[in-house]
Homo-oligomer: A and B are copies of this chain.
Amino acid sequence: MELSELTVRSFANLLGSNAPAPGGGSAAALAGSLGAALTAMVNALTIGRKKYAEFQEGAQSAFDASSDLKDRFLTAMERDTDAFNEFSAAMALPKETPEEKAARSDAMQAALKRCIESPLHVMELCYETIRITESSLGKTNANALSDLGVSALMLGTAVQGAWLNVLINLGGLKDENEAAAYRTRGEELLNDTLTLSRIVYEKIEQSL
């Protein structure tokens, strides 16, 4: 069953159980989806309002883009759990003969890459979304200002949470050049997203 088809309560219960998946990677992706949803909501509450007539075009395109990102985060949430399960399956492969050991190691490395690329993808989605959130500031319904702030917070948590999942898996990767490339990409996405997230949160907190 897809995680996004569970009820919110069932998802929280499964997350809080001793089932190894879903874990923090999927929770981070869900936080991203909630952040994108809030940016979509704030723009939806701007569309069609006379008071914000000059911002209509931007609000519509921000709504469309963030709605799409909300869905892409949910897909990423499923993929993160898939990657984890793939790694667990590789771990469980036989390791009696040298051939089996080599095949198991290759399968584990391949699965590990997916366990790194999946949260890196979530980080890319976070950066894409926070740029929309940031550009929505001052051009959307002022009654929903706190909601835009919560969006920025969610995206900050999503990017940092995904980053922890990149880091915990990087340690197991044998190819050092590849590991270094993943790390550089992740640090860039982390810094760029967090910078915008903090700017948006602080501006909103100070104006409330």
Contacts and interface: CB of A to CB of B under 8 A. Distances in A.
A10 B16 CA distance: 21
Number of copies: 2
A6 B5 contact: no
B164 A208 contact: yes
Interface in A140-154: 144-147, 149-151, 153-154
Interface in A94-153: 144-147, 149-151, 153
A27 B37 CA distance: 10
A87 to B, nearest CB: 12
A50 interface: no
Interface of A: 3-9, 11-13, 15-20, 23-25, 27-28, 30-31, 33-34, 36-38, 40-41, 44-45, 47, 66-67, 70, 74, 144-147, 149-151, 153-154, 156-157, 160-161, 163-165, 167-168, 171, 201, 204-205, 208
